[in-house]
Amino acid sequence: MAWLRFFSRTLKSLPQISSSSPNPNPNFRTSPFSTSFLITKTPDKLKKKRKKPESARTKSIQHESTKLPHLESLVSRDAHFRFLIRSKEFISKQPERILRLDDAGKLYRELGFPRGRKVTKFIPKHPLIFQTYRHSDGKIWLGFTEFMEDLLDEEKGLMESMELDRVNRVRKLLMMTKDKRILLSKIHHTRLLFGIPEDFRDRVAKYPDYFRVVTGGDGNRVLELVNWETNLAVSELERLFMIDEDKAKRVFKFPVKHGKELELEEKDTRKLNLLNTFPLVSPYSDGWKLDVWSLEAEKYRVGIVHEFLNLTLEKRASIHHIVEFKDEFSLTRQTYLMLKKQSMSFYLAGTEMNWTVFLKDAYDENGVLVSKDPQVVFNEKLYKYADMQQMEQVG
């Protein structure tokens, strides 16, 4: 029992805390029980998960309520045939139109397949277009089928027959620019938009009365306009105005801001807006000299984009292609807002990072072009064959 006596003496020697003594730290409230062992945070599994903001790469530029499915589907079609279109362009330029499969696997950007994916997963999707074979050197090569070779010859003949039309498109582009000149590299980069052949840079020499190639200060080759053609300096909108004035008046809208106290009727508001909208400014004028933030300058830039899209084969273009000519066409950083305001003429489809501008009136309610260029007809035929799996289905 010695340990019991020792324990009781120890307790007596400890200082006694009186319940009536004042608290030395009045701001600190003592608790007879410790709660440190209790879980005070909500477990992760019970927390409401916040949705991550959608990235500009995937977020649609149009709200769901304003989407036009027949035009959105064309953007999806472009993505579906990206491998076909890019591989066709790249392999066509190779010697004998063939490419080693080992090299093809590294050219994801040139051939249009996602980085990190195998090219062999995309080739079988188009059996009427592409084929692989083992060469005598033991290497596997990628090329076109005989059927596709015939299609390419057909396309070559088509481009030959449309050469003068393509030349005039380039002339009109030059006539719209501020300095009547464009880098040849820009024309080459956007050639598929206008149906311009791959070797257009070599064909320029055939038209000395239209074009001149000079070397810029940075060493790049520049295409210059030689002669102004008055007959070409007429926009599609001006032609429409002469044919159907009422339809032309509905293309653009530049509303007049006014207070509610005016109490204008709808018909009066429409008349007031027309007075503000017309006359338009021709894209073939010197509109670049106007005050950049004036109404007339905005009319000029809207007209530039409208005419640019009219010159394309499919009456649409990626915003990246349009912005590529921002200096030549005196476009501003407000291009997106400018196009958004003209919803009667333009439709923006795709994602916030990569969107396409359509001319709405150029398409019917099913997303089919009202007027098709021969190259567009050929492309649609190619797409049809590209989705087929057996030659017997070709009729």
pLDDT one-digit tens code per residue, 2-21: 555 555 555 555 555 554 55
Q: Which of 94, 126, 144 is the last residue of a domain?
A: 144
Distance from C-alpha of 340 to C-alpha of 32, rounded to nearest angstrom: 67
Percentage of the chain exceeding pLDDT 90: 65
Q: What is the mean pLDDT of residues 35-51?
A: 67
Decide: 358 and 316 in contact? Cβ < 8 Å. Answer: yes
Nearest C-alpha neighbor of 209 from the set 187, 193, 224: 224
Is residue 246 assigned to a domain? yes
347 and 321 inside one domain: yes
Is residue 57 assigned to a domain? no
- 67 pLDDT above the threshold of 70: yes
Is residue 366 assigned to a domain? yes
For residue 244, what pLDDT is reported?
76
Question: What is the residue-wise DSSP string for 203-271?
Answer: HGGG-TTTEEEEE-TTS-EEEEE-S--GGG---HHHHHHHH-HHHHHTT---PPP--GGG---HHHHHH
- 395 pLDDT above the threshold of 50: no
Per-residue pLDDT reduced to its tens digit, 278-287: 677 899 999 9
Per-residue pLDDT reduced to its tens digit, 157-203: 999 999 999 999 999 999 999 999 999 999 999 999 999 999 999 99
Q: Which amino acid is at 4?
A: L
Decide: 129 and 84 in contact? Cβ < 8 Å. Answer: yes
Indicate the pLDDT class of residue 35, thresholds 50, 70 and 90: low
Nearest C-alpha neighbor of 93 from the set 169, 206, 191, 166: 191
Query: Which residue is it, tokens 């292609």?
Result: 321
Is residue 176 assigned to a domain? yes
- 273 pLDDT above the threshold of 90: no
Q: How many domains is the chain built from?
A: 2
Question: Quick one: tokens of 195?
Answer: 């149906």
For residue 246, what pLDDT is reported?
74
Q: What is the mean pLDDT of residues 138-160?
A: 96
For residue 276, what pLDDT is reported?
55
Q: Which helix (H) or strand (E) holds 317?
A: strand 316-318
Distance from C-alpha of 329 to C-alpha of 270, rounded to nearest angstrom: 30
Give the range of the structural domain holding residue 74, as residue numbers without chain letter: 64-144
Question: Quick one: tokens of 337?
Answer: 């807002």
Is residue 42 assigned to a domain? no
83 and 222 inside one domain: no
For residue 217, what pLDDT is reported?
85
Q: The domain that contains 125 carries what CATH number?
A: 3.30.420
129 and 237 inside one domain: no
Is residue 236 assigned to a domain? yes
Distance from C-alpha of 393 to C-alpha of 395, rounded to nearest angstrom: 6
Is residue 24 assigned to a domain? no
Cβ atoms within 10 Å of 346's Cβ, excluding its own: 21
174 and 83 inside one domain: no
Q: What is the mean pLDDT of residues 369-380?
A: 97
80 and 108 inside one domain: yes
84 and 230 inside one domain: no
Q: What is the mean pLDDT of residues 97-109?
A: 95
Nearest C-alpha neighbor of 252 from the set 175, 360, 369, 356: 360
Question: Quick one: tokens of 202?
Answer: 């070599």
207 and 288 inside one domain: yes
231 and 333 inside one domain: yes
Q: Which of 75, 110, 144 is the last residue of a domain?
A: 144
For residue 136, what pLDDT is reported?
81
Indicate the pLDDT class of residue 394, thresholds 50, 70 and 90: very low
Per-residue pLDDT reduced to its tens digit, 305-355: 999 999 999 999 999 999 999 999 999 999 999 999 888 899 999 998 899
Indicate the pLDDT class of residue 51, thresholds 50, 70 and 90: confident
123 and 155 inside one domain: no
Is residue 36 assigned to a domain? no
97 and 159 inside one domain: no
96 and 74 inside one domain: yes
Indicate the pLDDT class of residue 236, thresholds 50, 70 and 90: very high
Q: Which of 110, 126, 144 is the last residue of a domain?
A: 144
197 and 92 inside one domain: no
